[in-house]
Amino acid sequence: MDNKNNIGDWNTGDWNTGNRNTGDWNTGDWNTGNRNTGDNNTGYRNTGNRNTGDRNTGYHNTGNYNTGDYNTGDYNTGYCNSITPEYCLIFNKKAKRSDWHNAMKPDWIYAQLTEWIYKKEMSDKEKKAYPSYVTTGGYLKCYSSLESAYVEAWGKASKEDRELTFKLPNFDIDVFKEVFGFTPVIDDKVKIVCEGKTVMISRESAKALNLV
């Protein structure tokens, strides 16, 4: 396999940051799989350390989509769980886990702490800072935090992808800001406070109701 654009040692795959990675888009050390952040992960899109499975957040999880530590099973939040729960919290409100599973999620929320920027996408400032782009065809951009990665991803997202955000189960704009670090704005939607709840409605509807 040809190795491209790796930073670190003993990497197999592409766009790795760290050491002894096998796979693609990893940040950390000794990862096996793709898009892992942390160390010693086996699987895909894990955040944390020593996870086995896919898309775990925490430590020592076995299974998929766990948040917490030492969980066996899927979709657990907490510690040392062996079951798969039926309910979860979505935007701080109780809902069926299947509601989230079946919802169409916007692509931008899968932002990573590292992103490969191709030569054609680089600004003049980036080209000056990373002159090696001439031979590598681009550079590996590392974000200082997930919040900054989310803001960048939102800025690049299509209108259609952004609209999916407002259709997520139990969507709450205030909770969204706490989680992602910014307030989502889309040209044809406005924020309305009704009976103490904040909702997003189309600008056209807001005008019809004399709210804007």
Quick: pLDDT tens for 87-121.
Answer: 988 898 999 989 988 999 999 998 877 888 999 99
* pLDDT at 104 (0 to 100): 96
- Asked which of 36-45, 166-175, 183-192 is least confident by mean pLDDT, the reply is 183-192
- Tens of pLDDT along 59-88? 888 888 888 888 888 888 788 888 888 998
pLDDT score, position 122: 93
Q: 62, 54 in Cβ contact below 8 A?
A: no
Residue 63 amino acid letter: G
Greater confidence (164 vs 188) lies with: 164
Neighbouring residues of 97: CB distance < 8 A, sequence distance ≥ 6: 75, 85, 86, 87, 88
Are the beta carbons of 32 and 42 closer than 8 angstroms? yes
Measured between alpha carbons, how far is residue 28 from residues 39, 125, 138, 196 in Å?
A: 5, 27, 21, 43
3-state helix, strand, coil in the chain (%, to 5): 25, 30, 45
Is the pLDDT at 2 greater than 60? The verdict is no
**What pTM did the predictor assign?**
0.63
Query: What percent of the chain lies above the pLDDT cut of 70?
Result: 87
The predicted pLDDT at position 75 comes to: 82
Question: What pLDDT score does 1 carry?
Answer: 46
* pLDDT band at 186; cut points 50, 70, 90: low
- Reported for 144-149, long-range contacts at CB under 8 A and 24+ positions apart, including other chains, are 145/113, 145/181, 146/111, 146/113, 146/181, 147/180, 147/181, 147/182, 148/181, 149/111, 149/112, 149/113, 149/115
Q: Mean pLDDT over all residues of the chain?
A: 85
How far from the centroid of its chain's Cα atoms is residue 151's Cα?
Answer: 11
CA 94 to chain centre: 22
Mean pLDDT score, 44-50:
86
Helix (H, G, I), strand (E, B) or coil at 32: strand
